[in-house]
Amino acid sequence: MRIPLVNPLVILLFLIIWLFSCGGSGPRQHSLSDKAAQTSQSVSVPEFNADSAFQFVARQVEFGPRVPNTEAHQQCGIWLTETMQRFADTVYVQQARVRAYNGTILNIRNIIGVFQPERRNRILLCAHWDSRPYADWDPDPANHYRPIDGANDGASGVGVLLEIARLLHKEPAQWGVDILLLDAEDYGKHHAASGMDEDSWALGAQYWSNNPHRIDYNANFGILLDMVGASHATFKKEGYSMMYAPNIVRNVWNKAQQLGFGNYFINQEGGFITDDHYYINKIRNIPTINIIHLDSSTRHGFFPQWHTIDDTIDYIDPQTLSVVGRTVSAVIYQQP
C-alpha cells in the first residue's frame, strides 16, 4: 500500500465529518449504548488459536511470492479457495482481468467466504493475499525489482481471517460475516517511477467494489487487516478510517483496550493510507476501517521490513496475530 499522505482538502473534509460525527452516529455506524455494551461483553468468544493463524500465514509464504500471473500466485489461490470452502457456508471466487499501471494485464481472483447468508446484519472482514512484485524499499538497490514473500504485508491479515473463519465454522456468531480475500493490492507503481498514481494500488478492491459478488451486497460495517503480524506492532487510528467510520474505529479500539491490548492499539491518529478500505468506503459506501501497522520511526511510516526482501515468516509474531485476532473476534461475537 501507499506511503501515508496528508492532503489539505482531505483534512478539511475529515474535520467536517468529525464534527458531525460527534453529535451522534449515522444509521449504519453502530456505537454501543451502556446497556447493550454490558450485554455484549457477557457473550462468550471462542478461543482464537495463534498457532493456527501462524500456520495459515506460513502456508501462504511457502508458495513463494504471490505475484499475479505467476505459478505461486495460482497455486496459493487454489489453496485459499479450498481452505475457505472447508469453513464457509458459501464461497465465491471472483476471477477478473485488470490492467496494472505499466499496462500489464493481471489475472486476479478475489475469494469471498460467506457465513450465515440468511442473516441481515453483516460484518465484512478483508485482507489482501497477493504480495508485492518489487522490493523497492529494500536497503540494497540490487533488490529493488525482486518480488517479496509478503509474510506481514498480506499473508498475516489473511492468516488471522482464516483462523476466524475456522471459529465461525465451529461456533456461528449472531451476525452474518463475509470474509473477502482481495487480490492485486500490492501491484502499485514502483517507488522509483516518476509521478504518483494512487489508483494503481488495490486493484482487486476497486474491481470488487464496482462488481461485488452479489449485486445487492451490503454490510453494516467492515474491517480491513493489513500488516498485523510483526512483533510490537502499533495500530494507530488511520485517517480514512476516521473519516468514513469513526464510530467503528472507536468501538474496535475500545474493545482492544478492554482486552488489555492498549500497547498495540494506540490511541493516536495515523496518516491517510490509500488501501483496500478506501475504495470499499468510496465506491461501495460500506463504512470500513483499517487495522494497519503504522510506525512513525521509519522513513516510510510502516514496519521496518515493509516492501523489502526481509518481509519473511521470521518476522511474524504469533502474539501479535493473537492480539488482532482476539480483538476482531470479540467485535464479531459481541455485536448486540
Whole-number pLDDT of residue 32: 42
- Helix 50-62 vs helix 318-333: angle between axes, to the nearest 10 degrees? 120
| CA separation for the pair 193, 191 (Å, rounded) | 6
- pTM of the predicted structure, to 2 decimals: 0.90
- Beta bridge pairs of residue 221: 123
Residue appearing with cell numbers 470499499: 280
Summarised one tens digit per residue, pLDDT across range 206-242 is 999 999 999 999 999 999 999 999 999 999 999 999 9
Using alpha carbons, list the distances in angstroms from residue 146 to 60, 75, 136, 137, 207: 18, 20, 8, 11, 26
Whole-number pLDDT of residue 194: 72
Contact call for residues 106 and 184 (beta carbons, < 8 A): yes
Whole-number pLDDT of residue 4: 54
C-beta neighbour count of 58 within 10 angstroms: 14
Whole-number pLDDT of residue 19: 45
| Residue 293 DSSP one-character state | B
| CA separation for the pair 310, 140 (Å, rounded) | 11
Mean pLDDT in consecutive groups of 10 residues from the start of the chain, 336 residues: 51 46 41 46 90 98 98 98 98 98 97 98 98 98 98 98 98 98 97 84 98 97 98 98 98 98 96 97 98 95 98 98 98 96
Whole-number pLDDT of residue 3: 52
Architecture of domain 8-21+28-333: 3-Layer(aba) Sandwich (3.40)
| CA separation for the pair 20, 202 (Å, rounded) | 29
